[in-house]
Structure formats: structure tokens, C-alpha cells
Amino acid sequence: MALQSLELFAGAGGLALGFSANGVLHRAVVEWNRHACETIRLNRRLQVHPIAHWPEVSELDVRTFDYDEFRGIDLVTGGPPCQPFSMGGKHRGFLDERDMFPQAIRAVRETRPKAFVFENVRGLTRSAFFNYFNYIQLQLEFPSLLAKRGEEWLAHLKRLEQHKTKGRPSEYHLVTRLVNAANYGVPQKRMRVFIVGFRADMHRPWTFPSETHSEAALLLDQWDSGEYWDRHKVAKRHRPAPPEGIATKLERLREQVGETPSMPWRTVRDAIHDLPDPESSKASNKHQAHKFQPGARAYPGHTGSPMDEPAKALKAGDHGVPGGENMLRRHDGSVRYFTVRESARIQTFPDEFVFEGSWGEVMRQLGNAVPVRLASAIADSVCSQLRAA
């Protein structure tokens, strides 16, 4: 029997797609943003697999969602809005009205799932949020220990810490990890926090899936064997200059072969090599959403992503696409914005997946998304654990 899930804060559906790829059936998909909901609806209408089999998206504020019919479900998954903890945001954390972790915790408390998976930004691990991050984890470990009426969160945190110190059995066993999406085959250096919990009666210990890709393997592929350039048919005269000190580094890396993941990081070139230049006439109408967007410019600290490395993390921005982000930087130093299709590939969405909204709205959806390939790697491990229990 297929595992069933409740997907919260679905966005454009990156995390949900990763779980669908592992045979999970979504009983409900919840999202409040109109454009993201329209993206999911559009893909359902177009019968894009596997979204065609998803239920109609619930477009609502998760604070109003009723969990009665989902008690005992296999999985609760989602990415609570990350802006309160984003390195580029206002850093308000628990003071930010967009903080939806209380709702993620409510979902766990009221459904008592066998497992849950929540994703958020690296900024959640900043020292400024240390106590609150600990508070989130303790609430997920002991979801039945609610805050008292009028109790401030620091007082509730203290009670949770005392509860744990006294050796009370955990309701959920948590594993929290900061991961780089590039280490799982995503062509993007995207650092994200995952909080994975299994209900205590599921027994068996669980660890994050092993990394499959590495920078070391990429450097060897590019500057030792040269297979990377040959694979992409890049003539020597068109290759960038070798990085400074690469000979010494390669010597050390050769000695470490076998100690690191064998597959090289995937680069921007790997992701978009078969797409035509969006500024050329060949690009028109051949690839969905592969349209040149003018206005890109570089400035200090925001210089775009090199072609032959994983992209920098795509960002959503508070007010549309960040001016110096989400850009490709060519070897001659010129820059242009990534197209929607290029950005979707960098986030490992399938080519048949289409997006609704203006360019800025779609790029916001992509900037907020969980890379599908990363989601699938974690889903595969979590689902294997659940099926073996």
C-alpha cells in the first residue's frame, strides 16, 4: 500500500514532487500563495506526471486548516516560509508574522504522523536564532507538551528542556542536518536545513542519505582528466584559465580518491548545455519559458553564477528578483538573467513542468522551492525507513 502524505507550505511543489517520485500519494496539498496554487493547478490540467494524480490544491491560510481527517497519516512534509530566518531578509525570526513553524508543529501534534520532514534556510541555524531553533526542535520532539495560556515562548522552552532533562521518553526522534544541495546532484550551491522526525514507535534509527556528489570529483573531472570539457565539447581555447594553485590541490585530491563521493558536482553548464542562447532567434517558442529577460547587471557581492560551477543559490527576494542574483556570468565577465527554464533546471524541476505568473512571480516561486532532486534523495531514504518498519 502506498504511503500517504499531507504537504503543507507547498509552494510550486518541489518537495512534494520529490516525495511523489518515491511512490507517495498526497492526500492534501496546502498553499496560500495564489500564483503558486495556479502553477500546481496548471500542471494538473496539463496532466503533468505525477501532479495529475495530486488532489486539488487547498488555497488557504494553513492556520485555518482542519487536520481531523488526517490523523495517523504516514507523512507530514513542507517548507515553512523561510523569510523570517533568511540571511537576506529582516531576520525577525519568531517576531515575524510569517513564521509558520507553530503551524508545522500543530500539524504534527494534531495528526500524529509516522514521520515528518520540514525544510528551511541556513539562516535558521544562526546564533541569533539558537534558542528559537532549539525551541522548534523540542516542540517537535514533544508535541503534546503545549504552551500554557499566556505563557511566553522562553518559559515554554524552559519547561521543554526540563522535561527532556528528566529523561521523559521522546514522542518523536529527530535528525536535523544542514545540507548542501550540490552534494546530492543539484547544480546549485544551496544550503538548507532539514528537520526529519520519526514517531517513537517506529523504533529503528535513521540517518541522512549519504552524499553522492563532490567538489573534489568536479575539480578532478575538469583539471585532471579533462573529461568535463571533452564531454561538453569545449575547445581548449574556449576553456577558462585553471584556478590558481590547482596543481597542488589536484595532487592532494588524487590521494583522496575513494574517500569522497565519486560523482562530480553538476554545474550550470551541465544543467543548461542543450538549451539555446535565449538571446538568439533559435530560442523563440522552442523551449517553454526560455525567454531572455533584459536588465541584468553585476555589482560588488552580486556577480552571478559561473558557467562551470554549481549555481549560487537562487533567491526569491522581497520585491521580485534580486538585482544582482539569479544571473549567469560568462567567461568574458558579461552577465544575463537565467531564464525561467534555466532556473527550473537549476532547481531540478522536469522540463514538462510549467509555471504560472509574471517573470518576477515565477522567479519568486523558484527561489523559494526545494530542489526536486534533493527532495527525492531525502524522500527515498525516509520512505524506505517507513516501509521497513
Mean pLDDT of 260-278: 92
Cis peptide before 50 (omega within 30 of 0): yes
Whether 258 shows a pLDDT value over 80: the answer reads no
Tell me, what's the pLDDT at 72? Answer: 96
User: 226: alpha, beta or left, given left = phi > 0 and alpha = psi -120 to 50?
Assistant: left
**Tens digit of each residue's pLDDT (9 = 90 or more) over 128-180:** 888 999 999 999 999 999 999 989 989 999 999 999 999 999 999 999 999 99
pLDDT at 182: 98
Instruction: Locate the domains of the chain by residue range.
Output: 4-211+370-388, 213-260
Please give the mean pLDDT across all residues of the chain: 90
Q: Which CATH class is domain 4-211+370-388?
A: alpha beta
pLDDT band, residue 282 (cuts 50/70/90): low
Reported as a single tens digit per residue, the pLDDT across 7-39 is 999 999 999 999 999 999 999 999 999 999 999
- Check residues 222 and 205 and name the one with the higher pLDDT: 222
Q: How far apart are CA 219 and CA 107, in angstroms?
A: 44
Report residue 163 as a C-alpha cell: 522535561
Q: Is the pLDDT of residue 90 over 50?
A: no
> pLDDT (tens digit, 9 = 90+) per residue, 323-377?
557 999 998 889 999 999 999 999 999 999 999 998 889 999 999 999 999 999 9
Average pLDDT rounded to a whole number, residues 38-49: 96
What local confidence, expressed as pLDDT, does residue 94 receive? 47
322 falls in which pLDDT band (50, 70, 90)?
low
